[in-house]
Amino acid sequence: MMKTQIKLIADMVRRRTPFDAATISAAANEIADEAPQIAQLFPAGSLVPPSNALPAVWSRREKFEHLATQLQEKARVLSSEVNANAINDAKQNFRQLGRVCAACHKDFRRKVDDDEG
């Protein structure tokens, strides 16, 4: 699940857990592998719970799909460039990935409480 992989990476680059480049690379690869499937997770009519999708998912579909592609690209960069001696580079690449996530959630996801996911 993408949320799990994001948290795993975030904890490492924020030094809440020990930094492990191989683990970050694997987690970023999972995100990159899942990213192309995002659009398929929201077929027409996906506005009913448990979905948090906003109508913009369909009215601005091109941008939605573009952000999924950007997510995949940023995750691949993070995965390929992370190494044990470059936590700062990992942080920078993770920030870029996070910006894509934030842009998508801002425009296409109903605001939810932290407990909801």
- Report d(CA 94, CA 10) in Å as an integer: 8
Q: What is the pLDDT of residue 56?
A: 94
Angle in degrees, CA 99, 94, 42, rounded to 5: 50
**Is 115 a member of any domain?**
no
**Is 59 a member of any domain?**
yes
- Report d(CA 84, CA 41) in Å as an integer: 35
Q: What is the pLDDT of residue 28?
A: 97
User: Tens digits of per-residue pLDDT, 57-77?
Assistant: 999 999 999 999 999 999 999
Q: What is the pLDDT of residue 18?
A: 94
Residue 52 or residue 100, greater confidence: 100
**Is 114 a member of any domain?**
no
**Is 11 a member of any domain?**
yes
**Is 20 a member of any domain?**
yes
Q: What is the pLDDT of residue 46?
A: 80
**Is 25 a member of any domain?**
yes
Q: What is the CATH number of the domain that holds 68?
A: 1.20.120.10
pLDDT class of 114 with cuts at 50, 70, 90: low
pTM for the model stands at 0.88
Tell me which residue range forms the domain holding 102.
Answer: 2-42+50-108
> What total number of domains does the chain contain?
1
**Is 29 a member of any domain?**
yes
**Is 113 a member of any domain?**
no
